[in-house]
Amino acid sequence: MMLHVAQGIIANTDQLTRADQAIGDGDHGVGMARGFTAVEELLTNSEFASIHQGLKAIGTTLMSAMGGASGAVFGTLFRGGAGGLQETTVFDSHALYNFLDQGYKAIQIRGGAEEGDKTMLDALGPAVRAAREHIQETIDRSLLAIAAAAEEGKEATKTMVAVHGKAKTLGERSLGYVDPGALSMSLICRLMADYAASLT
């Protein structure tokens, strides 16, 4: 599933670049592509003993290959998210909720942002809550729910004023633009959901 996500992120480089050109310095697309290209190589060439090891390795790879704020944040999503999944053998809706929730908390500690600050947390937060709401359902249904929630959250960032990162000095001029990190986060969720849907 993560291989599908990696390939999808790489395929969407231009879209991510354009979003970051609007309210950043334009390097988000190339950074994400670089990070997920390394993840693609990792997943193609390695076997992991457990889901926990695999997600942690994805996080470490993103952190080193991507660099930048995005590397630190998305790397922490996977490394932090992997934290509660040591005993997990099946990535079901419980694991999904656990992963997103732990990832969210780890990112908050690392970066100090809150929802409403116009960051990727504004897509991840709604995804966490949707995962909790749909925790009793099958994984394909909960993934659909989190993807929809993340997309709504991403759209909502247009109404927010940036408080962190390179966009923060834009102040009111960041209004009307989607946050690139939130765009990436919602894209990751959508790609996960699409993959699960393609299996059923």
Partner 1 sequence: MSKAKKLLNDPRQVVAESIEGLIAASHGRLEELPPGGVVVRTMIPEAKVGVLVGGGSGHEPLFAGFIGTNLADGAACGNVFAAPSPDVILCATQAVDRGRGVLYLYGNYAGDNMNFDIGAELAADEGIQVQTVRVWDDVASAPLERVSDRRGIAGDVFVIKIAGAAAATGIDLDDVASVTARARDNTRSMGVALGAGSLPETGEPTFELGDDEIEVGMGLHGERGVAREKLQPADVIVTRMMDYILADLPFESGDEVCLLINNLGASTMIELLIATRKVHAILSEAGIRVHDTLIGSFCTSQEMAGYSISLLKLDEELKALYDMPAESMALIKR
Residues lying near partner 1 in the complex (CB under 8 A) are found at 17, 21, 24-27, 29-31, 34, 63-73, 110-111, 164-166, 168-171, 173
Least distance from C-beta 76 to partner 1, angstroms?
A: 8
Q: How far apart are alpha carbons 14 and 200 in whole angstroms?
A: 30
Q: Which residues, other chains included, contact 116 with Cβ-Cβ below 8 Å and sequence gap of 6+?
A: 122, 160
What's the farthest any 2 CA atoms get from each other in the chain? 48
Least distance from C-beta 112 to partner 1, angstroms?
A: 9
- Which is closer to partner 1, CB of 16 or CB of 189? 16
Q: Residue 82 carries which side chain, given as an amino acid letter?
A: A
Give the number of other Cβ atoms within 10 Å of residue 109's Cβ.
9
- Which is closer to partner 1, CB of 67 or CB of 84? 67
- Which is closer to partner 1, CB of 94 or CB of 110? 110
Least distance from C-beta 85 to partner 1, angstroms?
A: 21
Q: How far apart are alpha carbons 85 and 99 in whole angstroms?
A: 7
- Which is closer to partner 1, CB of 4 or CB of 168? 168
From the DSSP assignment, how many helices (H) and strands (E) are in the chain?
9, 0
Least distance from C-beta 21 to partner 1, angstroms?
A: 6
